[in-house]
Structure 1
């Protein structure tokens, strides 16, 4: 018995040594190189493309990060079983990832000089690195980064998208996190029970995988996956709806992380928000669509001009922004706040080097001048004043207006007082002034021409429909869309894509009768004549 005890003790010591000798957190390999001597804007752009914010760790692997090779092998098995004519190769994998709206391969068109091209062929915005759960046992893990949501396709002069060329800072209006999450869940649930077949597919897709990683995947990661799946009841990866293409549900995700009760235990917590363009978002005096996060000891909804856009304010907003990694990447708050320097560089990039893609179509300058005057009368009191004297209009003041314009209230209601109270138990209690506003902020309109669909929940397909409430469709197709430059938004025929157009990702039908997707409200501009609506749209193309 004594010898057995000694042997067990020795094994425990060896196991502990292997565990503590592992790499349990790694930096992202998706960050482009920056030239020596480059400034904060260049570092910020590189971080925007590939930084992990602490999201590549064993802790994140238990929630948001994924074992990339196992997950993608399961997705390909699912695709091949669904359609046996599809080859079991990387092309099928890339096609499956593109169906969720990921951009791959994607060259970043607006990368500042001094920043190298992206270093790998994973989807844009997917961060990745190699962990070692125990010493010498590598596992490639992946997570989401900024550019997954905030890098959009570029557009040609006919409104057709080019998903091979991206523009960081613009919204990915086709990214379907709900479909992606559910597909991973269903595929792993189906194939983790046939580990030999799953591992064979890993080697088919990634023949360079060494024997140590194969053993780690088979005997360490797969049991972790099995245990995690066992803890998830029912047929959903998450208890809440994670959005439609181009939207997210960050509040429900945060409640899930903090174990705060979800509306209706989850299904009713469908307060989704469209991914915005980031132009002049640093002029906001509060963050989130309802202005729930503000800088402490400042006015929550303060009018902003260039004089107020100080480095100190941007640094304070950058600190708040690091908290977004908690619900989106599974980073623990104590770890998330360590990324403030990286987020501050990103804000420098957004302030000094970012503008949306210029409108690629033809603009009637005379009509746009007429539209500028209409905008000043109808829109500027909420969405800000633009200087139109020289070239592209530039924002000169933002009211940071917050209120109720009759739009779907679910998202505002979803930010509960109980959720606000949880911040007191995090390192952010002195860094974020959290309040339940029960209203919505009117944002700046930079890049609005490429940000369809509209309203905070993406329930209106074009600006013309926004200005014509009685014509807003009950349902419409969304995801992988092309643009209608006349109405400014999704190009549709009776709510569906033109028969000669093939979307680059898998579209869905958005049903405005569903909770959180109500299309009414924001009736401003409804009394304008059709010529005035056309002129206003022409002006908005310039933003």
Structure 2
């Protein structure tokens, strides 16, 4: 008996130590310290009204039902400092203005951002309960910042460098969701913390509403812990996303098909992608990294569902919602339309010579000739004239045809494209009628809705029909007629779906401001992107905003709180899109470029599409594009 007791005691002590270690790293995440820049610079990409509309217009998303006033009242686990203080949230990579660090009396109040939160942290009010929910908007992930010599440059519509996505606890504790759960748990379990929290949230309703508030906080904490446990023990996200990346498609599919329908629909999501820049996307014929989506409204509804908009596909009796009752959600169509229209005003960022140094015009002139010879074939833009063959949206001028390059040709990491094409889901529980699906405003390229096997539906097709039902229900609830629906959907486009094992070669205006590169962020700067794979870093640190204007990328050396990106991990490969001599295979897309030619291309990519610089470049003869010999 004494031996059994010692064994049990040892197990208990080991469990306590493990819990203590996890609690320590959760409460003390391994993150970079935040140091405010001397000055934040804004580029003339649009006017200030459009910028603020983009930053703080809600989409209808929720963080597991987290109230806005709860979020702003939460304390850090081992401190009375607010979790939502600008300096603390900036450590996770969220973007703030240094002015936000000033005391309340020294800064003007912002009615669109009453909680003094970072870019993309908005709020919306529930129409039934009147509660205000924290609403994470598209600008949280599609706004970037570059630092150089203690100056900060905001890149509206660029790529974020935060760690918002991860739901799986790690010892480095660097994810926003993990730290939020730790603060919520500390608030719930530590009596004096909860009392301070309740006083601030309830105001004049304290202490009467304290018990109900405690119950609601417990329910929210249970949801967060349940998600963390589910994603961890199922091993859903084995490839760490780190700062600036998320397996967006995989997470949306797991949320809608796994959480919402059947746990058997969970799929391993091991293909994180960088957040793409969003300027000019209204001109694209197809969007998403793999060119799988067409209609702007459906794309934005899918994004809102992935970030946490509520969706009700089953009733309280467990039976599927049918007919016109499908599918009530919290997405806000008018706000999504406002965001889409506002983004049409967004211009690509222009190179700030006063911050990063003047352009070498002679080198950039050579770079323009090299770009025409080696890059424009894929990256265009390829402008379609209205009324010509393949023109998709009458009224959209210009319309750019995206070249979708097969994975077998470009050779970049195939995991994202493969997962989207190969993962299948059982949607029979929703009791869809294939005859009804054929009548819906969904256009399947290369397949027929009448032939769909509802037991084996791809993610792209399944999400297309879900968003179509959500869209229709939301339009009916809002009393929006057919003509206005066509306008809000975007040029009357249907919800188009195509499934190709390919990646989109988008136009490259402003590309200098969007490191790291390739769809999975596996190449740190533009110079390496133009180099053979053997000359690219096989691992490097990410999470810093420090910019290297020579190479056009983030600094990659080790720094406190940095995330080590390893290209050997599944989904992280840096191969492909390679300029190297020899026949065209294994991702070799062009001839080898000398170092001087690479520098010339980098210099031109800093000013591509910028008329102020383009007009000052010299004409250099452009060599004809040579595809190179095919391999046997």
Q: Same fold (TM over 0.5)?
A: yes
- For 2:124 and 2:596, the matched residues in 1 are separated by 54
Name the counterpart of 1:283: 283
Q: Can you list the C-alpha shifts for 1:480-515, whole angstroms capped at 9, x where unaligned?
A: 2311111111223xx435xxxx8xxx4311111222
- For 2:568 and 2:265, the matched residues in 1 are separated by 18
- For 1:374 and 1:519, the matched residues in 2 are separated by 23
Task: Give the number of the structure whose alpha-carbon radius of gyration is greater.
Answer: 2
Name the counterpart of 1:400: 402
SS at match of 1:412: helix
Counting matched residue pairs gives: 436
How far did residue 460 of structure 1 move? 0.8
- Return 5+ residue gaps in structure 1 as ranges: 1-39, 81-86, 109-115, 295-315, 388-394
Name the counterpart of 1:145: 137
Please tell me whether the aligned partners of residues 281 and 444 of structure 1 are also in contact (alpha carbons under 8 angstroms): no
- For 1:407 and 1:215, the matched residues in 2 are separated by 54
- For 2:497 and 2:596, the matched residues in 1 are separated by 43
How far did residue 140 of structure 1 move? 4.9
How far did residue 173 of structure 1 move? 2.8
Please tell me whether the aligned partners of residues 195 and 218 of structure 1 are also in contact (alpha carbons under 8 angstroms): no
Change (3 A) 1:144 1:232: closer
SS at match of 1:76: coil
Confirm or deny that 1:354 pairs with 2:347. yes
SS at match of 2:601: helix
Please tell me whether the aligned partners of residues 381 and 399 of structure 1 are also in contact (alpha carbons under 8 angstroms): no
Q: Can you list the C-alpha shifts for 1:155-206, whole angstroms capped at 9, x where unaligned?
A: 45x5x552xx634212223454321122223443x436515244145269x5
**1:516 aligned residue (555, 571, 575):** 571
Name the counterpart of 1:251: 249
Confirm or deny that 1:375 pairs with 2:350. no
How far did residue 330 of structure 1 move? 2.3
Please tell me whether the aligned partners of residues 517 and 526 of structure 2 are also in contact (alpha carbons under 8 angstroms): yes
- For 2:52 and 2:191, the matched residues in 1 are separated by 39
Q: Can you list the C-alpha shifts for 1:216-265, whole angstroms capped at 9, x where unaligned?
A: 76334223124425644638579436722112221122112222489995
- For 1:146 and 1:155, the matched residues in 2 are separated by 22
How far did residue 399 of structure 1 move? 4.5
- For 2:75 and 2:564, the matched residues in 1 are separated by 23
Change (3 A) 1:357 1:76: farther
Name the counterpart of 1:464: 527
Name the counterpart of 2:271: 271
Please tell me whether the aligned partners of residues 285 and 401 of structure 2 are also in contact (alpha carbons under 8 angstroms): no
Name the counterpart of 2:170: none
Q: CA RMSD in A?
A: 3.8
Q: Can you list the C-alpha shifts for 1:351-404, whole angstroms capped at 9, x where unaligned?
A: 3343325334221122111111111111111111599xxxxxxx9985411122
Please tell me whether the aligned partners of residues 53 and 342 of structure 2 are also in contact (alpha carbons under 8 angstroms): no
Change (3 A) 1:369 1:229: closer
Q: Can you list the C-alpha shifts for 1:274-305, whole angstroms capped at 9, x where unaligned?
A: 112222222221111011112xxxxxxxxxxx
TM-score normalised to structure 1 length = 0.70
Name the counterpart of 2:419: 414
- For 2:382 and 2:549, the matched residues in 1 are separated by 21
Confirm or deny that 1:123 pairs with 2:118. yes
Change (3 A) 1:229 1:537: closer
- For 1:145 and 1:106, the matched residues in 2 are separated by 21
Confirm or deny that 1:168 pairs with 2:153. no
SS at match of 2:229: coil
How far did residue 52 of structure 1 move? 1.6
Please, which moves more after superposition, 424-433 or 374-383? Answer: 424-433
**1:96 aligned residue (80, 88, 101):** 88
- For 2:146 and 2:570, the matched residues in 1 are separated by 31
TM-score normalised to structure 2 length = 0.61
Please tell me whether the aligned partners of residues 357 and 447 of structure 1 are also in contact (alpha carbons under 8 angstroms): yes
- Return 5+ residue gaps in structure 2 as ranges: 1-45, 101-109, 167-174, 313-326, 384-396, 425-456, 470-492, 580-589, 609-632
Q: Can you list the C-alpha shifts for 1:50-82, whole angstroms capped at 9, x where unaligned?
A: 122222xxxx45x3x4234545666611xx3xx
Change (3 A) 1:229 1:101: closer
Name the counterpart of 1:180: 176
- For 1:275 and 1:427, the matched residues in 2 are separated by 21
Name the counterpart of 1:298: none
Change (3 A) 1:279 1:343: same
How far did residue 434 of structure 1 move? 2.0
- For 1:170 and 1:139, the matched residues in 2 are separated by 32
Name the counterpart of 2:592: 527
- For 2:163 and 2:221, the matched residues in 1 are separated by 27
